[in-house]
Structures are given as C-alpha cells and as structure tokens.
C-alpha cells in the first residue's frame, strides 16, 4: 500500500477516536505536517499527500497560510455520504460488471436483505452485549437476540433463540464457550474481533492524563480495568459504572468514552453532547466474515425456486 | 485489497477483461451464440503467453459472473442468459463483499450503502444537452444517459443548430458530445456556463471490428446516412477498410448480409427494425461509452449531487 494511503488511514482513525472521546470537534485545528513529521516519522511530503487525500474525502480542510482543520461540514458524518471519488469508482466497477447505475441500489439491497437472518449475540456483560446486538441490527440487518454466556452454558435444553440462530455472535473472549454452544445446536458462529483504535488511542493518552470510560455493567468495568491497569499510566484509567459511580467527577476537558448501553441511561446532557457516539466497533476482517455469510445466504435464497 | 489488485492478480484481471470483451463483442457482432464452445485454456495460454492456471482462474471468474459455463471433461461454453428471464447478470459475491467491506472502512454501514450511493446519484434531477451530427449517435448517447444515469436529455442536431439552441436545451446542467465535436461542445457549454463532457465510444468493440476487417467483411446497419459517412472516415486508414460494409436501414436490403458475417446494428436501427432475423443473431450491447467516459459522466453526476447534499446539510 502506498505510504500516504497508509498514513491517511492512521490519521482518519485518530480523528474519529478523537471525536468519540470528545477531544476533537468540527472546525478544530489539527497538528501541522511538521508536528506529525516528528511524531510519526513520515516525511513531510507524505504527510501532506495524506492530508490532501483526507481533504478530498471532506474530512479535513487545508487553509492557505493558516493550517489544517477538522472539517465543519464533514460529508462523512452519520446520514450523509461516502467520498465522491470512491463512489464513482464503485459505480464504474458495477457498470463493468453489467449493473447499470439506475439498478445499482436495488441490486445491492437484494443481495443483503432478500432474506432476513437471525443472530444470537452472546457475551458476559450488558455493555458489550448491547453493542453487538445494535451493530448486527443496524449495519447488517439481522434480527437479534442477546443472551448471557454463562446462562446459556447452564441450560440443559438449548433455548429457541440458540437453535434457530442463523449466526451466533460473540467476541474473542468467549470464542471457546460459544464454539461449544454452537456445536450443541449445530449452528454457525463467529467470534468478532473489535476495532482497536479507541483502545490504542486511550493507551496513547494515558501517560499524559486521566481517561474516563462510562459503562453500565460492573463486569465490563472490571474487564477494562484488567486491560488498562497493566499499561504505562494505567492508574489514570477510570471505568465508571452508571448507578454506582458519580459521573459528575469527570473534568470538562478530559477524554471520555461512553458505551452504547450507557448513553440512554446517562442523564448528564453536557457530557453526552461533547462526545460523538461510536457506531461501528467490529474490525474490517469481522465485517467481511459477516458479509460473506449474509450475502451467501441471500444468494442461495435468490437462486432457490420461489414457493 | 489494493495490493492484491495491483500485485499478483493483475495478469488475471487483465486477461479476464480481455476474455469478457471478446465474448461480448462476439455476441454483439453475431459471431458467437449462447452455448457456443470457447477456446481451451491451453490455446489461450499460448495466445496470451500466460500460465494455463491463470486462464482457468479467469474463466472461473467469468463463470461466477454467469458469462461462461465450465463443463467437466467437456470444455468451456458461452453461458445462456440468466434463466430467470431478467436480463440482469448475477453479481460476483467476492466483489460485492470487497465493496461493502470497503464501505464499512469509510464509515458506511453495509445496509445503508446502496441508499447512500443512490442519493449521491439521484438527489438531483440533472439535464444534459446532447450535441451530435447524426441520428444514430444522438440516439445511442441520449438513450444511455437516460437509461443508465437517469439524466433528462434534450438532443440537438449540430447541422441544424445555426448557432442557436432550442429553449429546453439551454436549461442543461451539462453539454455532452463525442470527440469529433469537442469544439462545438466546449463553445456551447461555455455559452451556457455549464461543463462540457466529451465522450468516447466503447473502443473494445471498434478494436474487434478493426481486427475482423483484416480477415473478412464486417457489416454495420445504420439509420442516418451521415453516420455511414462518418464510419467510413473512421475506418478509412486501417488495413482491410475495403471490407467495411455500411447498410442504411430502410434503404438497403438487410437480407443481403451473409448469415455468418459479423454485423453491428446501431441502437436506433435496432429500435426501428421490428422483427428481423438479423436481430435474433446479434445481441445488443449493454452500453456504448468506454470506461473513461463512464467515469467522466459519473464524476459529473456524483459531484453535482454531493455538492447539493452538502449545501443542504
């Protein structure tokens, strides 16, 4: 991969993480090419090329003699649209594959949602369960149920949601248990890997200050603490559980992450407003695996003679 | 993914494109029919100087798109059109997964993807004025702009323009023409204050015609005598140009075309011809613009749509 494309990806992730942690707002000034040169050890021309690429995507604005800014009217914000050059590329490929642009939307949708699939999400805590279910529903169109991993393991007769699942979804932590569960009912399963950009951004920030993580389930708080406390500056990591801990102790300028499950239960409006919710947590490799199953099932259903 | 495309798979992709073009040109010119046997992997490996396994991989990828059929112990055949009766080619699932995973990387959920693309093409109803010097090209260019890109089109015959545009043609968002009229297109666009798009026609089909002209007679059936003259000019300097036969629909006897000769019908001719035996052996081509022209039109459409979406946001 060309260096500037690789770097653009690093910067893109960092900016998104910055928004999810409430550190970066639209219009904010971004580090100059010179500052990044020192930090990331890329040469300045590569950094500028990466910034230009992000500019074409509408993510940043390069202002003459002034600096580089996080875009005010970013077209990638939820509900808007992917970058133009990329959209052109995809539609051109579709035409080469024999799909006219006017049919493009319908054809793609058909391969994703001709058949409605059911997923059972399995985890040991409410925060991660909520985020697995939400992502399977909103991004891939699955009908989802959630279940606690220990409860499922204890049941002598597998519940309907397990027996009827088109896919059982969990995270890497519970891969072993879910593999065992899926073999009981002979259903496919996946242990998704989660994107690590938020975690690595937190690890990067810890040596220089406190970082807060707001959750709903004490079991998830414990899990996070185990991960971060071993790192440099790990004692500056604070997992707060809604209902147990006081979120008002979070200083205004501190980076804070709020899980999807915690958002609706958080009453602190000010806190909610300064943090952009993270919508996508599955890694691209996991997204690919889910898409492969989803598209495969839809193609099979489309080919089958309609009854 | 970019690495894979640029690296190890490059020869296969090139070959796949060449084979796909050869099959589709063959069908468009009436030289191939559905179910015909295609050259073996060994023959093609020799012709293209690649490993037979690369040829096989290319054939498999065409098979996944429903273009050819690999029969065990028998050979490779042109696949019958989609059995469902709909003229839609199946989507290759590997490609679909690539595109959607890439969309995820850009922050677009798989489920929203097609809607986002649709909005970046169809938020605006765009109008194009097409300039050309003959009915055949006016028809094929405007037909494709309407059917594939959803543009509203007004057509202007350059010969009867006299420097003046009809009212509806003045309301265009862009002026579209082909290379032969690039200058007129540019001037008209400037006059209207809109971009001009200069398109090129599918070069692959013309390349195939050039190749065939050296071997045998090739027939074109057109509607407008001015396109006949243009075609003769286009092919006049190539070896085998004496093999070019241009017939005018409604004027010349189409039955004089030998059953086995390659024949090409313009879109306008095809629409006017009714039910002729010729139509049955020649498959209409899906599109007439070449790849860079497709991108030019998409660039214009997508950017115009995004601009208005950003302004509304």
A147/A214 same-domain check: no
Which range (A117-121, A188-192, B5-9, B48-52) has the least confidence?
B5-9
Query: Higher-confidence residue: A177 or A75?
Result: A177
**pLDDT of B88 strictly over 60:** no
Which chain B residues are closer than 8 Å to A81 by Cβ? 116, 119-120, 306, 309
Which of A57-66, A80-89, A97-106, A190-199 has the largest mean confidence?
Answer: A190-199
Could you tell me the CATH number of the domain that includes residue A14? Answer: 1.10.10.10
User: Is B299 within 8 Å of A84 when comparing Cβ atoms?
Assistant: yes
A189/A202 same-domain check: no
> Are the CB atoms for A240 and A262 separated by under 8 Å?
no
Which chain B residues are closer than 8 Å to A104 by Cβ? 114, 117-118, 121
Q: For residue B282, name the pLDDT band (cuts at 50, 70, 90).
A: confident
A152/A22 same-domain check: no
How far does the CA of residue A152 sit from the closest CA of chain B (Å)?
30
State how far the Cα of A238 lies from the Cα of A240, in Å rounded to an integer.
6
* Residue A79 counted as domain residue: no
Is A90 an interface residue toward B (CB < 8 Å)?
Answer: yes
* Residue A111 counted as domain residue: no
- CATH code of the domain occupying B123-201+292-312: 3.40.50.1980
Is B6 an interface residue toward A (CB < 8 Å)?
Answer: no
Which range (A62-66, A170-174, A241-245, B10-14) has the least confidence?
B10-14
- Nearest residue in B to A291, CA atom: B97
Which tokens go with B68? 């050819």
- Average pLDDT, stretch B228-247? 93
- Cα–Cα nearest to A101, from B146, B174, B126: B146
State how far the Cα of A199 lies from the Cα of A49, in Å rounded to an integer.
27
State how far the Cα of A202 lies from the Cα of A195, in Å rounded to an integer.
13
Break chain B into its structural domains and give their ranges.
2-80+89-93, 123-201+292-312, 203-281
> Are the CB atoms for B311 and B123 separated by under 8 Å?
no
User: Is B91 within 8 Å of A292 when comparing Cβ atoms?
Assistant: no
**pLDDT of A302 strictly over 60:** yes
Task: Give pLDDT, residue A81.
Answer: 54
Q: What's the pLDDT tens digit per position in A40-94?
A: 888 999 999 999 988 877 788 898 888 999 887 655 554 445 677 888 888 888 8
Which region holds residue B76: left if phi is over 0, alpha if psi is between -120 and 50, else beta? beta
Number of domains in chain A: 3
| Average pLDDT of the residues of chain B | 86
**pLDDT of A200 strictly over 90:** no
- Average pLDDT, stretch B8-24? 81
Element (H, E) at B87: none
CATH class as words, domain B2-80+89-93: mainly alpha
Task: Give pLDDT, residue B90.
Answer: 65
The residues in B 273-302 lying below 8 A from A, measured between CB atoms, are: 286-287, 291, 294-295, 298-299, 302
The residue from A52, A70, A88 where one domain ends is A70
A227/A191 same-domain check: no
pTM as predicted: 0.75
Task: Give pLDDT, residue A306.
Answer: 58
* Residue A97 counted as domain residue: no
φ, ψ for residue A289, nearest 5 deg: -65, -45
Give A190's strand partners: A169
Task: Give pLDDT, residue B87.
Answer: 44
**pLDDT of A110 strictly over 50:** yes
A208/A257 same-domain check: yes
A289/A183 same-domain check: yes
Could you tell me the CATH number of the domain that includes residue A150? Answer: 3.40.50.1980
* Residue A142 counted as domain residue: yes
Is A143 an interface residue toward B (CB < 8 Å)?
Answer: no
A147/A162 same-domain check: yes
A290/A151 same-domain check: yes
> Are the CB atoms for A274 and B71 separated by under 8 Å?
no
A189/A205 same-domain check: no
Measured CA distances, A133 to A128, A138, A168, B111, B181 (Å): 9, 9, 11, 15, 57
The residue from A13, A41, A70 where one domain ends is A70
How far does the CA of residue B146 sit from the closest CA of chain A (Å)?
9
Tally: H helices and E strands in chain B = 14, 10
The residue from A31, A54, A70 where one domain ends is A70
How far does the CA of residue A267 sit from the closest CA of chain B (Å)?
28
A155/A47 same-domain check: no
- Average pLDDT, stretch B186-195? 94
A238/A288 same-domain check: no
* Residue A128 counted as domain residue: yes
Q: What's the pLDDT tens digit per position in B28-85?
A: 888 888 888 999 999 999 998 999 999 999 999 888 877 888 998 889 999 876 543 3
Task: Give pLDDT, residue B89.
Answer: 57
**pLDDT of A161 strictly over 60:** yes
Task: Give pLDDT, residue A305.
Answer: 65
* Residue A264 counted as domain residue: yes
- Average pLDDT, stretch B173-190? 94
Is A279 an interface residue toward B (CB < 8 Å)?
Answer: yes
> Are the CB atoms for A231 and A198 separated by under 8 Å?
no
A57/A203 same-domain check: no
Domain, as residue range, for A225: 197-274
State how far the Cα of B192 lies from the Cα of B171, in Å rounded to an integer.
8
> Are the CB atoms for A26 and A19 separated by under 8 Å?
no
Task: Give pLDDT, residue A149.
Answer: 95
Give A194's strand partners: A282
Task: Give pLDDT, residue B146.
Answer: 93
Q: What's the pLDDT tens digit per position in B107-143?
A: 788 888 888 888 888 889 999 999 999 999 999 999 9
- Average pLDDT, stretch B142-168? 88
Which tokens go with B242? 């004496």
* Residue A46 counted as domain residue: yes
**pLDDT of B301 strictly over 50:** yes
């Amino acid at each position: 991969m060309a260096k500037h494309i690789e770097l653009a990806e690093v910067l893109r992730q960092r900016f998104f993480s910055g928004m999810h942690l409430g550190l970066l707002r639209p219009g904010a000034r971004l580090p100059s090419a010179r500052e990044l040169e020192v930090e990331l050890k890329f040469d300045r021309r590569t950094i500028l090329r990466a910034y230009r690429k992000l500019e074409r995507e509408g993510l940043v604005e390069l202002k003459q003699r002034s600096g580089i800014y996080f875009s005010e009217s970013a077209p990638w914000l939820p509900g808007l649209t992917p970058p133009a050059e990329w959209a052109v590329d995809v539609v051109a490929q579709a035409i080469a594959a024999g799909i006219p642009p006017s049919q493009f939307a319908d054809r793609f949708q058909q391969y994703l949602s001709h058949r409605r699939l059911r997923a059972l999400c399995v985890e040991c805590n409410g925060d991660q369960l909520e985020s697995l279910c939400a992502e399977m529903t909103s991004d891939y169109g699955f009908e989802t149920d959630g279940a606690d991993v220990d409860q499922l393991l204890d049941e002598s007769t597998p519940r309907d949601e397990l027996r009827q699942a088109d896919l059982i979804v969990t995270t890497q932590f519970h891969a072993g248990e879910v593999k065992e569960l899926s073999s009981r009912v002979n259903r496919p399963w996946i242990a998704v890997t989660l994107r690590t950009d938020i975690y690595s951004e937190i690890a990067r920030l810890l040596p220089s200050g406190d970082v807060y993580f707001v959750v709903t389930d004490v079991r998830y708080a414990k899990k996070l603490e185990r991960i971060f406390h071993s790192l440099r500056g790990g004692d500056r990591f604070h997992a707060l559980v809604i209902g147990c801990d006081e979120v008002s102790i979070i200083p205004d300028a501190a980076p804070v992450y709020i899980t999807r499950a915690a958002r609706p239960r958080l009453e602190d409006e000010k806190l909610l407003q300064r943090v952009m919710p993270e919508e996508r947590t599955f890694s691209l490799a996991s997204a690919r695996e889910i898409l492969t199953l989803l598209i495969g099932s839809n193609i099979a259903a489309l080919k089958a003679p309609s009854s | 993914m970019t690495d894979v495309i640029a690296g190890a798979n490059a020869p296969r992709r090139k070959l796949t494109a060449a084979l796909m073009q050869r099959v589709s040109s063959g069908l468009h010119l009436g030289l191939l029919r559905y179910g015909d046997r295609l050259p073996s992997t060994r023959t093609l490996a020799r012709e293209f100087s690649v490993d037979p396994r690369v040829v096989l991989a290319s054939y498999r990828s065409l098979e996944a798109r429903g273009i050819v059929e690999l029969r065990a112990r028998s050979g490779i055949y042109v696949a019958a059109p989609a059995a469902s009766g709909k003229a839609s080619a199946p989507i290759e699932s590997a490609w679909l997964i690539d595109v959607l995973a890439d969309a995820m990387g850009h922050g677009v959920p798989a489920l929203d993807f097609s809607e986002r693309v649709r909005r970046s093409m169809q938020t605006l109803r765009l109008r194009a004025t097409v300039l050309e010097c003959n009915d055949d090209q006016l028809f094929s260019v405007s037909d494709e702009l309407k059917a594939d890109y959803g543009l509203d089109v007004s057509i202007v015959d350059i010969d009867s323009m006299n420097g003046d545009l009809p009212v509806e043609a003045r309301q265009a968002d862009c002026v579209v023409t082909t290379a032969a009229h690039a200058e007129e297109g540019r001037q008209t666009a400037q006059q209207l204050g809109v971009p001009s798009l200069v398109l090129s026609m599918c070069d692959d089909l013309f390349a195939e015609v050039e190749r065939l002209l050296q071997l045998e007679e090739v027939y074109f059936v057109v509607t407008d005598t001015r396109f006949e003259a243009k075609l003769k000019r286009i092919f006049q300097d190539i070896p085998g140009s004496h093999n070019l036969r241009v017939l005018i629909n409604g004027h010349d006897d189409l039955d004089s075309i030998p059953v086995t000769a390659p024949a090409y019908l313009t879109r306008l001719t095809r629409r006017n011809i009714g039910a002729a035996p010729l139509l049955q052996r020649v498959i209409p081509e899906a599109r007439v613009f070449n790849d860079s022209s497709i991108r030019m039109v998409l660039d214009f459409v997508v950017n115009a749509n995004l601009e208005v979406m950003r302004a509304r946001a």
